[in-house]
């Protein structure tokens, strides 16, 4: 066991969920510490029925033997993760700051758990949209080797944080009341609208969110030849990201085989009964850790194509749950991952 568990960003939306998951999963620790920005210093967090003070995030807050779960903006992660590593801590980082660093493993425990063994002090957790997609891809890739993915995302307001959820709620109320509302998070009205733009312009007409799905998928599978064509869309849903996914495999996988593969894979729940109107939806997948798959069907335009619908709670499996699962992996392999 690590000597101390440190949660960075403990007062944020994902940080609070990390605390809940640590309780739910009975995560082992000897001592626990909570860190956040200076503006949160002096606050308290409740964990396992006890109140703890929130300490200021600073280099001296980290110690040899710390296991750190960090949920911070990218710039904070870039500044403070190296301080933690210098002082002998291991950091599980949920930001985008370290994901594509060649020295930093990018890990989804259901997909590439052994990658944690190669860390040099920092382990990155992927983008929420990438995470649920690669979990769904894993059994198909093992069975038939995926060569191409076409994915369209339907991303909830919670992907933009608490402010995004507040924007959707207040903006919807204002729209229904025929009142003006100034959005603080989104560039356009989200209520009763779709915004096909998440992130910043990045590469040949693709946004940064879309390119994350390309590069992160290739890194997680260790295969730069997997082609990914993503379109990321913000939708007026409070929580849970949905994805329409089309994969092309080297070996044909039938619908029946795919359904068996999905059902047997860790972290996947199949809801696939179109005649009875049963399929994954945000309203039924909210607050669960699994990746839900349904609407499984053959691609009518490609002999080796398979299409399916995928929904997951982006705050849980897409963020907090994945980070806690990585921390659980580290406990299991601690004796072999550090010199």
Do residues 254 and 208 make contact, with C-beta atoms less than 8 angstroms apart?
no
Any idea which residues carry the catalytic annotation?
128, 241
Nearest to 113 by CA among 9, 313, 267: 267
User: Could you count the other beta carbons within 10 Å of the beta carbon of residue 234?
Assistant: 26
């Amino acid at each position: 066991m690590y000597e101390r568990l440190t949660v960075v960003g403990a007062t944020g939306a994902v940080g609070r969920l990390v605390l809940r998951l640590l309780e739910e999963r009975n995560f082992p620790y000897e001592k626990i510490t909570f860190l956040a920005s200076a503006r949160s210093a002096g606050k308290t967090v409740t964990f396992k029925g006890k109140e703890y003070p929130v300490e200021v995030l600073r280099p001296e807050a980290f110690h040899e033997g710390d296991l750190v779960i960090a949920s911070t903006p990218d710039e904070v992660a870039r500044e403070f993760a190296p301080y933690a590593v210098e002082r002998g801590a291991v950091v599980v980082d949920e930001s985008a700051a370290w994901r594509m660093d060649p020295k930093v493993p990018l890990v989804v425990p259901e997909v590439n758990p052994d990658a944690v063994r190669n860390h040099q002090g920092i382990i990155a957790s992927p983008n929420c949209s990438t995470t649920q997609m690669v979990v769904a891809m894993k059994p198909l890739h093992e069975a038939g080797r995926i060569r191409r993915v076409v994915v369209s995302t339907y991303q909830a307001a919670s992907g933009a944080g608490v402010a995004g959820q507040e924007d959707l709620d207040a903006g919807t109320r204002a729209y229904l009341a025929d009142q003006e509302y100034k959005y603080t998070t989104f560039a356009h009205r989200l209520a009763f609208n779709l915004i096909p733009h998440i992130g910043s312009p990045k590469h040949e007409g693709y946004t940064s969110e879309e390119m994350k799905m390309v590069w992160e998928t290739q890194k997680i599978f260790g295969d730069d030849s997997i082609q990914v064509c993503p379109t990321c869309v913000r939708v007026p849903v409070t929580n849970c990201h949905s994805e329409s996914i089309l994969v092309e495999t080297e070996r044909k996988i039938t619908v029946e085989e795919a359904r068996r593969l999905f059902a047997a894979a860790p972290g996947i729940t199949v809801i696939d009964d179109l005649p009875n109107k049963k399929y994954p939806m945000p309203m039924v997948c909210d607050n669960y850790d699994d990746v839900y798959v349904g609407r499984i069907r053959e691609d009518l335009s490609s002999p080796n194509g398979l299409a399916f619908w995928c929904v997951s709670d982006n705050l849980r499996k897409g963020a907090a749950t994945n980070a806690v699962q990585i921390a659980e992996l580290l406990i299991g392999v601690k004796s072999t991952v550090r010199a």
